[in-house]
Amino acid sequence: MSENKPIILPDLGTFSDDAGLIRMEKTSDGRYTRGVNGVEEIAATGDRKVEFVSFGNQTLACVKSAIAFPVYYPVYPVSIERPLKAVLMDLDGTSVRSEEFWIWIIQLSVASLLGNPKFELEEADLPYVSGHSVSEHLKYCINKYCPDKKLEDARNFYFEHTHREMQEIMEGRGRENAFTPTPGLKDFLYELKDMGVKIGLVTSGLYEKAWPEILSAFRTLKMGNPKDFYDAIISAGFPLRKGSVGTLGELSPKPHPWLYSETCVVGLNIPFAERSRVIGIEDSGAGACSIRLAGYATIGISGGNIESSGTKALCSHYTDSFAEIMKIIKG
């Protein structure tokens, strides 16, 4: 932050210098300026993916996009009331450790785009190539490494690599330990079931990449069919490609709130008015923002990029394990 005073964002919180937020004079789209037309404060998450605009008694959140236009959402206050009715859980990094695999796929795609099989992503790229949509990840890489290349070509390489590697994994070959259930997942899920808490699985991943992950994890844990276990599963759907029909996913994934909203309101039939009896669990900055903008309390779990993306302050709690999260759930 550029000033030695807290950032106050109504319904979101009061944030100190070390919270990870970045104070701004104006929003990146130029729509709002601090001190003009009632705007009291403007701040962005550390990765600058989401910007917050305070009007003194309310806050708007602007979700930026590398491939479309920014979208503004109202920010709602959150709380946790017990007993909980539902837990919403992210897939990659939260339920299944797979982020390294998908970052590797992005790296392979950019390598193919560059015609350089030795290409490797840098450490600084990691917050921007996980947690968002495929197109967002690829567009970031194109802007940085090959601005003369087309997103369409990058997506073609991405799906070529994905199809090949997923087929190898489903047939018992492929990259070793690509999808590993997070420690404590099985006991956590069964305990939620015993408590009568509904469970929704939420992922920004497209169905063709998300479903093998879920299936692989449940096979490893010997938990049967995930479709029978979860009360709702929402993915980013099916990719839009020439010759096929796609579903909405590339422009509305995390950090937009829609995946979490749809899982809870439609999939679990829990109305927005009862959102205080719902929590979301995430390991990524984009996911933490998505849950928070959907109006639910966010429980961050370590291992992802929440800290490096500057979104830890948006979490109601931040933990290292499902055992710690269960203690929060029980109060």
Residue spans per domain, the chain: 7-74, 86-97+180-330, 99-170
CATH superfamily of 86-97+180-330: HAD superfamily/HAD-like (3.40.50.1000)
| Of 239 and 217, the one with more pLDDT | 217
Rounded (5°) CA angle 255-259-265: 130
Q: Which segment of 78-92, 180-194, 232-246 scores lowest on mean pLDDT?
A: 232-246
Rounded Cα distance between 321 and 184, Å, is 7
Is the pLDDT score of 1 beyond 50? no
Give the pLDDT mean for 198-204. 96
| pLDDT value for 132 | 77
For the chain, the three-class secondary structure string (H helix, E strand, C coil) is CCCCCCEEECCCEEECHHHCCEECCECCCCCCECCCCCCCEEEECCCCCEEEEECCCCEEEEECCCCCCCEEEECCCCCCCCCCCEEEEECECCCEECHHHHHHHHHHHHHHHHCCCCCCCCHHHHHHCCCCCHHHHHHHHHHHHCCCCCHHHHHHHHHHHHHHHHHHHHCCCCCCCCCEECCCHHHHHHHHHHCCCEEEEECCCCHHHHHHHHHHHHHHHCCCCHHHHCCEEECCCCCCCCCCCCCCCCCCCCCCCHHHHHHHHHHCCCCHHHHHHEEEEECCHHHHHHHHHHCCEEEEECCCCCCCCCCHHHCCEEECCHHHHHHHHHC
Give the pLDDT mean for 236-248. 82
| Of 215 and 54, the one with more pLDDT | 54
| pLDDT value for 225 | 94
| pLDDT value for 3 | 63
Q: For residue 296, which phi and psi values (nearest 5 degrees)?
A: -110, 150
Give the pLDDT mean for 271-276. 98
Give the pLDDT mean for 178-192. 95
The answer to whether the peptide bond before residue 271 is cis (omega within 30 degrees of 0) is no
Rounded Cα distance between 281 and 300, Å, is 6
Amino acid identity of residue 322, one-letter, is: F
| pLDDT value for 67 | 82
For 115-141, write each residue's pLDDT tens digit.
999 999 999 998 889 877 889 999 999
Q: For residue 157, which phi and psi values (nearest 5 degrees)?
A: -65, -40
Give the pLDDT mean for 289-309. 96
Nearest by Cα to 139 from 251, 2, 12: 251
In angstroms, what CA-CA distances link 134 with 6, 72, 91?
35, 22, 15
Is the pLDDT score of 15 beyond 80? yes
Q: Which segment of 33-47, 143-157, 240-254 scores lowest on mean pLDDT?
A: 240-254
Mean pLDDT for all residues in the chain: 93
Q: Which segment of 31-40, 166-175, 181-190, 253-262 scores lowest on mean pLDDT?
A: 166-175
Give the pLDDT mean for 49-65. 96
Look up residue 206 and give its two tokens: 């497209």
Rounded Cα distance between 245 and 81, Å, is 41
| Residue 310 and residue 22 in contact, taking contact as beta carbons nearer than 8 Å | yes
Q: Which residues of 193-209 are buried (b: 16+ CB within 10 A; e: fewer)?
A: eeeebbbbbbbbbbbeb
Q: Which segment of 13-27, 181-195, 208-222, 301-315 scores lowest on mean pLDDT?
A: 208-222
For 148-178, write each residue's pLDDT tens digit.
999 999 999 999 999 898 888 777 777 777 8
